[in-house]
Amino acid sequence: MSDTYELRVQGHLDDHWAEWLGELAVQRQADGTTVLVGPVVDQAALHGVISRIRDLGVPLLSVRRPAHDINEGGDDARERE
């Protein structure tokens, strides 16, 4: 099983980096950043992608699991009521 991750980096990356970065989709944003989106099988694979981003020399701005963000606060919010 894998989780979908979004990794935001500074600058615009070309599409040819997608394969090298584990087949993540390359989405260039209007704000000058690039969002890399796709499934990552486990934490070791995630660290591998992060290491490759480091090797590119581009700043990593954020890492998100969108499905996790949707569920976040659900149980905690009910407990506070």
Give residue-wise pLDDT tens across range 55-77: 999 999 999 998 776 655 544 44
In the block, residue with structure tokens 């490759």: 52
Would you say 40 and 49 are in contact if contact means Cβ atoms under 8 Å apart? yes
Predicted pLDDT at 77? 40
- Domain span at residue 12? 3-80
Predicted pLDDT at 2? 86
Binned average pLDDT, 10 residues per bin, the chain of 81 residues: 93 93 94 96 95 96 85 46 41
Neighbours of 64 (CB within 10 A): 14
Predicted pLDDT at 72? 57
| Residue 75, domain CATH | 3.30.70
Domain count of the chain?
1
